[in-house]
Structure 1
């Protein structure tokens, strides 16, 4: 990756994403964020240039710059990815921390944020635009969908399946072979020993469904 990177979003994972790219000696051109209060400020000497739909900066994507989407909210992240796909015909790049371990036999899609000390085992599959926080472990032969967020220290054991849009809080344990449906939410510290249906929220040890 030789082109400079424009980071979409200037909050949340934006600063650690900048650190990751700097550690790989990659140039970050700047940030774009919809919050006007952040525009014309700096993060570690890198400017917040304007908004994410500013055509003057968007036109650089795919020609002179790459893009990375550093937005925690999965729905908003998806809207920015769609903008980049449709208007610039590009996929965001991955931000992979030097201190992460990714098996040579694992498959990883586009636009993922993989922080320090994350382990991704042999035969694991990570989709697109996921956020995997520090010290999370994704064991062998797991399947993680798109737009999944996995909290710090979470463990997804071998053969588990995590559906698109799912949120796993910090310290969550998913037992081997368990399937978690799309857009489920797993509360921090929960131990999931049975399948979770799509759109369910569960919490506890063992995890129980939280009625809305």
Structure 2
């Protein structure tokens, strides 16, 4: 990647995203955030320039800069991705830490955050705009859909399928061959030994649905 990066978002994963780009010797030009109180401040000497919908900054993206969306909330992340797609005709770049391991035949989409010591195995598939936190393991042939979040130290075993928008908490273990449904949530530290339905929340060892 030759161009510098503008990071959309200046809270949550924005700071570790900056560290990821630093680990790859990629220049971050600045941050854009909707919170006006942050404008003019700095994160590790990199300035928060203004609002992510400000055309004055957006016009730099695609010509002079790449973009990365560093927002934890899925709904707002989707909004910013669509903004970049429609206004600038670009896809956000991946932020992959220099200490992450990505198999040579894994397939990875656009706009993913993959932090240090994560492992993506042979034949694994990762969609677009996922957040994969430190030390997460995605074993061979596992498939991770768009806008999925994997907590630190989670273990996604072989041939697991995680559908779009699912949230997997820190330290979760999902045994081989399991399917996690769209927008499902798995609580931290859970061990998942059975499929999880779309929109379902499970927790525990073994993980069981939480009654609403």
Tell me which interval the TM-score lies in, with the shorter structure as reference length: over 0.9
In structure 2, distance between residues paired with 1:114 and 1:120 = 10
Pairwise CA distance, 1:117: 0.4
Q: How does 1:40-51 map to 2 (within 5 A)?
A: 40-51=40-51
Q: Could you tell me which residue of structure 1 aligns to residue 72 of structure 2? A: 72
In structure 2, distance between residues paired with 1:116 and 1:3 = 22
Structure 1 spans left out of the alignment, 5+ residues: none
Q: Could you tell me which residue of structure 1 aligns to residue 128 of structure 2? A: 128
Query: Runs of 4 or more off by more than 6 Å in structure 1?
Result: none
Report SS of the residue matched to 2:75.
Answer: helix
In structure 1, distance between residues paired with 2:26 and 2:122 = 28
Q: CA RMSD in A?
A: 0.6
Q: How many residues align?
A: 212
Pairwise CA distance, 1:80: 0.3
Report SS of the residue matched to 2:3.
Answer: coil
- Cα displacement string for residues 74-128 of structure 1 (whole angstroms, at most 9, x for unaligned residues): 1110110000001110000000001110000100000000000000000000000
Pairwise CA distance, 1:25: 1.4
Report SS of the residue matched to 2:176.
Answer: coil
Instruction: Normalising by structure 1, report the TM-score.
Output: 0.99
Pairwise CA distance, 1:203: 0.4
Q: Does 1:170 align with 2:175?
A: no
Pairwise CA distance, 1:20: 1.1
Pairwise CA distance, 1:185: 0.5
Q: Does 1:104 align with 2:84?
A: no
Q: Could you tell me which residue of structure 2 aligns to residue 154 of structure 1? A: 154
- Cα displacement string for residues 6-32 of structure 1 (whole angstroms, at most 9, x for unaligned residues): 000001111111111112111111000
In structure 2, distance between residues paired with 1:163 and 1:108 = 15
Report SS of the residue matched to 1:68.
Answer: strand
Report SS of the residue matched to 1:83.
Answer: helix
Instruction: Normalising by structure 2, report the TM-score.
Output: 0.99
